[in-house]
Amino acid sequence: MASLSEHHKVLTDGVGKCSKPMWDGMGGPNGFCDEPAYGPQNPILRDVYCAGLACQRHGGPPPPRFVNGARVTNRERLTLRANLAAFMAAAPPRKRPEQPS
């Protein structure tokens, strides 16, 4: 059986590897998922076992979003969305260009 490496436990530059054990057709161990992982498994989604980090398919968080090269959290994303909605609501309606007849 393979053992967890450091990249299955720790994020390096925000990315690690999924630690979900994989099994071959005969029920024997076959390493780990090793897809990109961005954090630990969500405790609510414990139907799959992951000892360390988990990819999104195995209950881990989605990849981070970036705006102008800076990482944006969910709270900041919601704030940006609310600010955009407020800006659009306050903006005067756009006039359609007149069509030549």
Tokens standing for residue 83: 């600010």
Stretch 44-59: mean pLDDT, rounded? 81
Count structural domains, the chain: 1
Tokens standing for residue 101: 């007849």
pLDDT at 70 (0 to 100): 65
Domain enclosing residue 62, as ranges? 6-89
Answer whether residue 87 shows pLDDT above 60. Answer: yes
95 located within any domain: no
60 located within any domain: yes
What pTM does this model have? 0.59
Alpha-carbon distance of 85 to 28, in angstroms, equals: 53
53 located within any domain: yes
Distances from the Cα of 7 to the Cα of 10, 25, 34, 35, angstroms: 5, 26, 9, 11
37 located within any domain: yes
Q: Which residue has the higher pLDDT, 72 or 53?
A: 53
Tokens standing for residue 23: 């099994």
Model pLDDT for residues 12-30, shown as the tens digit of each residue: 877 889 988 888 878 778 8
